[in-house]
Every structure is written in structure tokens, then in C-alpha cells.
Structure 1
Amino acid sequence: MQQLNCSSSCQLTDDFPICVAVCAILGLGFVLGVPGNLSVLVILIKRLKENNFTIRMMLSLAVSDLLILLQLPVWMWAVLHGWVFTSTACKIISYVEYWCIYCSAFCVTLMSVQRYMHVLHHHKWAKLGTRRENGLLCGIWILSGVFTLYAPVQRDVGCEQYGFLYCYQQFRNKTEQVATLLFEILLFVICFFLLFYFYYRLYRGVNESPFSSSNRMTKLVTRIVVAFFIFNFLVPVANILIIIAIFLNNQNFYKHADLCGNVARALTFLNSCVNPFLYTFSLRGLQRD
């Protein structure tokens, strides 16, 4: 759009196999995740009358995951055929995508804190009340929205480094790019640390209690931590590789690291498919612990 030598399709570039692989991952996420999250929404909405904070957190998670997955056909088309929408659409879709991804990660993290407090410090958590619990959920959406403000500023339509028209991050300089990558790495490290720490403390507490069976909790804790780590850890790894490539000023290394980043970000969408099965279908088991 902005450059005459820009192709409108990834099919005309040497990276077409990578584009196909990314679309395959996104397509799998859409086919599995949308029906799963819709089913979860129906189940959870029926149970809202129970006034259970765990259910409200899962509902918030399902909404954010569903909004992420509903955008996948747009990105699949853009990867294979180029960006055919306006620059404004690029900014809005990117903002919603980042907003929901951060919200999903924060919901998962809050679940670990809530389960720890509810099981081992029930009386302290009960003092919050419904209003403050809802305030926590609203705070997650607001905080995610604030953290995502950089997305529409940096995203625009143009001829990116692989030679085709796309909606991608355009940095004014290397300092801005490194700062953005470090910010995303820091968010992952904080979320994963809190997730692991509180579930580990929960497992230890339940395991030491003579009144609770920890077998079910052990399996669930393992699945939650492993799933979050598997589907998300490649993004900060790719970001680190990109930062190294920037400091080395190695364009070939940078291109390969960026391609790894594209595949890694596509894999994070699969986490939105796993979440409904991981949390909702474990709800009954959690309430018995």
C-alpha cells in the first residue's frame, strides 16, 4: 500500500511454507477453541446465580479467549493473501487481540491466587465480599487495556520485511523495539512466577492437610502450569533471540528469530483452546477439595 514493491500475498515469497504452518495452527485453534469456549459460556452463564467467584473468573477467561479466537480467520487470510483491510481496522483488531491475550493471562494468574486464598485462607478471602471480587475482575480488564495501549500506536499496514502487505508492528527505532520486547518478556515472567508460586503453595498446603486428598489437586496444578508454560514460553524466548539479533546487527539471524516469533505467537492461541477443558471441566473437582 505504501511501497510499490510490496506484494499482496505471502504465496509470492520464499516464506510461504512458514505462512502455511502458521495458518494451520491458527485454523486448529479456531476449529477447536470457538465451540469449546461457546460451550463453556453456556454452562457458566447458567451457573452465575450461584454467586461463585471461581465461576465468574472462568466466565471472564472464556470471554477473553473467545474474542481472541474469533479474530483468527482475519489473521489467517492476512497471512496467506496480505492485509486487505484499512489501517484503522489493523489498529483496532490488534488492540483487541493484545487486550484479550493479556486479560486471559491475568485471569489465569488471578485464579492461582484465588485458589490459594480460598483453600488455605478462606476466612481472609471471604472478607473481600462480592463487590471487591467483581472489582478484581474489572481491574484485570482495565489493567489489560492500559498495558495494551502501545499496540495500536505501533501497528500499521505496510510492506514488512518478508515483502508482502501486512498489519505488523512498526518501530521508530531499535530502542523502542527492544523496550517493547522486554516489556512483553517481563509480563510473562511475572505471570508465570505468580502462577507457579501460588499453585505450589496450594499443593503443599493441601498435601499437608489430613482432611484433603491431594491427588486430584496435584494433577490439576501440573496441567495448569505445564499448559501455560508450553503455549507461552516460546514467545519470550523468541523475543530474547530478536533482542540478541538487534544488538549483533545480524539481519539473517533477526529474520529467523522473527519467524520463530510468528510461530510462537500462533501457538499461544492454542492456549485459548485448552483453557475451557482445563478449568471448567475441573470446576466440580476443585470445589470438592
Structure 2
Amino acid sequence: MTMENLTVSNSSVFTSAGVLTTSTVLGVCCALGVPGNVAVLVMLVQHLKEGSFTPKLMMSLAVSDLLSLIFLPLWIYALLNGWSFGQGLCKFFSYVVYWSLYSSVFCLTLMSVQRYLQVLYSQRWAKLGRRGENGLICGIWILSGILGSYALIYRTAGQIKKKMQCYPAYRNHQEKIAIILMETVVLFFLPLTCLVCFYLRLHKRISQSSSFNSHRLTKLAVRIVVTFFIFSTPCMINNIVQIAVPNNLDDSNDVTGALFFMNSCMNPFLYAFSARTLRCRDKAHSSHSHDTNPNE
């Protein structure tokens, strides 16, 4: 999907409108997302000693996004000039980007689940313990690394149209369909469903209680879902087109793949810079639980 769409493949005119558009989008993502995620990491370091799961999960999200964005200058150069870094680095950098993108999406998904359970079922979440929380984060990175490992197999560097490119070399059309379907489900439909369902249920439960003011949380949840939907949907539509149309549409692949990186660019502004709202929400709920359950 993302890196699948962001194939370093261009027409005979390398500075086509599609390539320039893709390069511009990637440049904006890198310029905004890298310093934004670095700022998030610096901001969250001071909260790690508190032992709260939210800062740890946000830090994992920021690391994932930073890894997916920090190599974008390399892909921009390759889009404009062709791939000149060899097959080994083609596989390695592709794998790092896939790994970090899977991890980023899984962190977003877990954050919606954690927010729902921690606010409405705090005692159940507390039973998980610090070891269980750390295990969830480690599990995200391990699972992401496994799911992204196919980049080491099918990504390769070769000459196409007299230009060296880092591209996906599928053995057959069935393999291509299987990979695209897997990416579409895991990186789009599954996380989007979780985001919508858990935030809707969270808003419904909180709005029924006079102890919470859900306005800020509702606005944050809406921004999260809308942002993910806006920047992910074009890539998913393009994936479906790729399944139906055997021939690659280079410009649409590159542009829609680049748009997916906007999620990693926007995440620090949506989550970490809204951390104060979420921490206040936790404190308010903890106080409410203590007052209504003094023996617990």
C-alpha cells in the first residue's frame, strides 16, 4: 500500500506533474512531521517516570512516525533522480518504512481501545498492570516487524525504462492481490473500524454522565477519525484499482502513497499536543471513581 504505492517508478519524463506533486507532499510531511515528532519525544520524556501508559503509547507512536518520515528525503531523491543506493538498501529502507507504518497504525488503534477501557472501565484496565502494558507496546513492534517483513522479499532494485528503481517485484498477479488486500484490511479497515466504534461508544457513555464534560474529547476523537479517513482513503481506493487494473498507474500510486504519510505528520498535533486534555480527563475520572468507591 503506502510504500507499495510509493514505488520509485516514473514515466520517461522524470519531472512529471505526478512526481513533483508526490515530492512536494513528501517534503511537507518531512518538514512538519520530523520536528513535530521530535518535539513530542522531548515533551514526553519527562512524563515517563509517572508510570502512565498514555505517555508510553504516545512515545511509541512518535518513534514509529519519526522512523517512517526521517528517510523521506532519500525517497524524494529517488523519485527525482532514480534509485542509486543498491538492492540491499532498497530492501532495508522499504522494510523500515513498512515496519514503522504498521506500528504507527497499531498504536493509533490501541490508543482508542485504551482510552475506552481506561476511562470507562479503569479497574479492569488496572488489572493489566505495568508489565502487561509494556507487553502490549512490545507486542505492537514485534507484530509490525513480522507483518512488514515481506518487504525484504519482494522489494528489489532494478532498471526499468532506463532508470534504476526500487520497486515491488511480484512473482504473479495473485501474490500482488494478496499483499494489497492484506495491507488494505490491516492498515485501513481494521483501524478505522476500531477508531470509530470505540470513540463513538466512549462519547455515548461519557455524554450520559453528568460527571464528565465530553466536548473536548469528542472534538479530539472526531479529528482523529476524520484525519485518518481523509489521508488513508485515497490510498485504499488506489489499492482497489490496482487489483482491478493489472497495469500500474505510476502517478496515482506515488501521490496516494505520499498522502498516507500525512497521518504520521499530523499525529503529534492530534495526540501529544492534546495530552493535557487526556490527562485532565484521567484525573477527573480517577477523582470521581475515588469519591464514589472510597473502599477501592
Q: TM-score, normalised by structure 1?
A: 0.91
Instruction: Determine the C-alpha separation between the residues in 2 that align with 1:217 and 1:185.
Output: 28
Aligned pair 1:270/2:266, yes or no? no
Paired residue for 2:3? none
CA displacement, residues 16-51 of structure 1 (integer Å, 9 cap, x when unaligned): 221111100011011111111111110001211111
Q: TM-score, normalised by structure 2?
A: 0.89
Instruction: Determine the C-alpha separation between the residues in 1 that align with 2:19 and 2:222.
Output: 33
CA displacement, residues 171-205 of structure 1 (integer Å, 9 cap, x when unaligned): 01111111111111111211111111111111111
1:158 is paired with a residue of what secondary structure? strand
1:39 is paired with a residue of what secondary structure? helix
User: Residue 166 of structure 1 aligns to which amino acid in structure 2?
Assistant: Q
Instruction: Determine the C-alpha separation between the residues in 2 that align with 1:16 and 1:152.
Output: 29
Q: Which runs of 5+ in 2 are unaligned?
A: 1-7, 282-296
Instruction: Determine the C-alpha separation between the residues in 1 that align with 2:77 and 2:89.
Output: 14
The alpha-carbon deviation at position 269 of structure 1 amounts to 1.2
Structure 1 residues 36-55: aligned runs within 5 Å: 36-55=36-55
The alpha-carbon deviation at position 89 of structure 1 amounts to 0.3
Instruction: Determine the C-alpha separation between the residues in 2 that align with 1:260 and 1:22.
Output: 9
The answer to which of 163-172 and 113-122 deviates more is 163-172
Paired residue for 1:223? 223
Q: Does structure 2 conserve the Cα–Cα contact (< 8 Å) formed by 1:10 and 1:81?
A: no
Aligned pair 1:150/2:142, yes or no? no
2:83 is paired with a residue of what secondary structure? coil
The alpha-carbon deviation at position 15 of structure 1 amounts to 6.4
Aligned pair 1:169/2:161, yes or no? no
Aligned pair 1:179/2:173, yes or no? no
User: Residue 163 of structure 2 aligns to which amino acid in structure 1?
Assistant: F
The alpha-carbon deviation at position 163 of structure 1 amounts to 5.5
User: Residue 269 of structure 1 aligns to which amino acid in structure 2?
Assistant: F
User: Residue 109 of structure 1 aligns to which amino acid in structure 2?
Assistant: T
Q: Which runs of 5+ in 1 are unaligned?
A: 1-7, 247-253
Structure 1 residues 39-78: aligned runs within 5 Å: 39-78=39-78
Q: Does structure 1 conserve the Cα–Cα contact (< 8 Å) formed by 2:109 and 2:195?
A: yes
Structure 1 residues 1-289: aligned runs within 5 Å: 12-13=12-13, 16-160=16-160, 164-187=163-186, 188-246=188-246, 254-256=247-249, 258-289=250-281
Q: Does structure 1 conserve the Cα–Cα contact (< 8 Å) formed by 2:14 and 2:80?
A: no
State the aligned residue count: 273
User: Residue 141 of structure 2 aligns to which amino acid in structure 1?
Assistant: W
CA displacement, residues 220-267 of structure 1 (integer Å, 9 cap, x when unaligned): 110010111111121111010011113xxxxxxx343x4322211101
Instruction: Determine the C-alpha separation between the residues in 2 that align with 1:147 and 1:166.
Output: 23
Q: Relative to 1, partners in 2 of residues 1:203 and 1:102: Cα closer, same or farther, differing over 3 Å?
A: same
Instruction: Determine the C-alpha separation between the residues in 2 that align with 1:176 and 1:49.
Output: 46
User: Residue 38 of structure 2 aligns to which amino acid in structure 1?
Assistant: L
User: Residue 232 of structure 2 aligns to which amino acid in structure 1?
Assistant: N
Paired residue for 1:3? none
Percent identity over paired residues: 47
Q: Does structure 2 conserve the Cα–Cα contact (< 8 Å) formed by 1:234 and 1:261?
A: no
User: Residue 126 of structure 2 aligns to which amino acid in structure 1?
Assistant: A
The alpha-carbon deviation at position 9 of structure 1 amounts to 9.5
User: Residue 184 of structure 2 aligns to which amino acid in structure 1?
Assistant: I
Instruction: Determine the C-alpha separation between the residues in 1 that align with 2:221 and 2:54.
Output: 16
**Aligned residues: CA RMSD:** 1.6
